[in-house]
Structure formats: C-alpha cells, structure tokens
Structure 1
C-alpha cells in the first residue's frame, strides 16, 4: 500500500483466529513424506499423523476431513477446519469449481461421525498471501469508490468531495501445525454418496487440497484457501 502526502484516509478491517485442536497431534509422530505437485514432481514435507478415529467421509470424487478446535472457556462457539481432498492428484480445480458453484456445498458434505482409518496424514503448512484488489473490483463493475466524490456518503466533510479510493490491499496469513491453527486476514433434499466404512478408508493429504475454517453453529466461514505446495509461503 502506497502512502504519501496526498493520502487522507486509510480504511482498515482485520480478522484474527487462533485455535488449538480439540485433540492435539503428537509432534514426535510427525514424519516426512512426499507431497505430489501438479507438475508431476514431488517435495518432502512434514506430515502430522494420528491413530485416533477422525471425522472423515468419502463422497463421489473426494473426501472431507473435519478437525474440531477446542471450545473457548467462556463461549460456546465451535470452530472446525475442513480439508476437502480430491481423489485425483490433479482434481483440485474441478473440486473448487464444484464447491463454488453449489450454494451450501460444505453443509451437504460434513462428516457426521468418527471412523477408523487405515492411514491418516495431513501436512503442516504456513502460507501468506497478498494482492491489490481494486483492478478485480473494477472488473466486477464496482466504480463509485474509485472516482472523485465517490466517498461523500462516508465522509462528513467538504473535503470528501475530492476523495476517492486509490487502492485496496488484501493480506492473509495461516499456519497449521500440531498445536492447531493461527490465521489472520486484513483488508484495507441432499443426495450424498457415502462410502462403506467396512471397506478400507484412509485420509492422506499428499496432493493439492482446499481447506475451510468455519464456526459450525452459525455456519460462518472465516477463512478458505487451497494448498498447492505446503513448503511455499
């Protein structure tokens, strides 16, 4: 964000989340293994593992894992991270398109019971991301804030006639490890396909996947993203 002598106002909002898993991972069981990239190569990354039952369900073409966070001492909010893992190594794009095209997609694909898994591995990761959003917003047809006088309804001042938004900067950060998750962001009738749990079931997130952090009582989504390479941050 560029600030100079012509800057008059900076509007900012922020969202911060730090959650500990309801059942923490044992760091001594973290192991290195391959994570398969879309270009056919692989990288060695640290994987968190556990032999405990997990909230996992298999659907047509993908699996969903729910990892609950510990509830706060003074409130009843229930937060969870959901990992949506395509069956195919290169299936992330198709899964993301499906998820974004269907309202209530996550609500229709929430694991409802804990199951035994033959194998369970999810990578540790830490990512940060930032971009300038004004071009995208203009492309969507948002015009008023970016023109002179576009902020007159917000600024109770004669100077407001000459103000406009010059840039909008979005930044986000998320880290997932054995303890839990730390994340922050700032901006200036259902048909289900359930697997037969008598068959072998595992959850090995060793290729690109998407994740969602949400509050389960209200359904409010705090963060969503995807991991192409856990080592990239």
Structure 2
C-alpha cells in the first residue's frame, strides 16, 4: 500500500514530466536544462501565497489536495535533499530559494512563516522602483 509521501513523490514526478513534455513541445530542436525541483518549489511557494480559484488551479496542477499537505510534503523533501549525508561533510545538493518583495508591500505573517520554515527560503525587501534595488537583486541571484 502506497503511503501519502509515496503518492506525493509519484505526483511530483508526473508534474515534472508534464513540464518536460511542454518544454520539449515548444523547443524540440534546442537543448533544454531546467530543475524540476526548483520549478516545483517556486510553484509551491506561489500556491501557498495565493487564494481562491488561483490556489485551487495550482493545487490541481501540482496534484495536491491542500496547501497544508503541499507545504508539509515539500518541507519534508527539502529536509531530505539538503541533508548532509556525506562522510566528508557538506550537502549533496546546494539549493537556494527566496522571495523578493517590493519594499512598499507587506506579506501576511503566516505566509512569511511558511516560506521560511517549510520552504527554507529567505524573504528580502527590494526597491523595484529604483535601479540600484534591481541591480542588487541581480547580484544576489548571480552570486
């Protein structure tokens, strides 16, 4: 009998294959490199911050019944993927994700908590109206 975690893992594989099929249908003559994990984490964070029909459509696409189940599943996967399992120390995978918010806007504290605790992501305020703020964001992403 499959566990809920097995089902979530299988569903995430199906979502990744859906994305791959879409990418290759649009760019069949080109080489494509992407991270299914990164895309799913980004879509999951967006799902956690959305409401109503948008949230439901994202949950349907990601194949989860609720945001609680989604957040819990992704948090569990990230804790396994990023776990230091080498004898010499250091992760097998380096993974950084973050949420950059226009500094004049605010987020609900519950969303901030989900992003930092479940998704291990950083929250940063950026002045998108100022070229210096955008340049600093570009440097963070490149670095």
Normalising by the smaller structure, the TM-score range is: under 0.3
Higher strand share: 1
**Higher alpha-carbon Rg:** 1
Higher helix share: 2
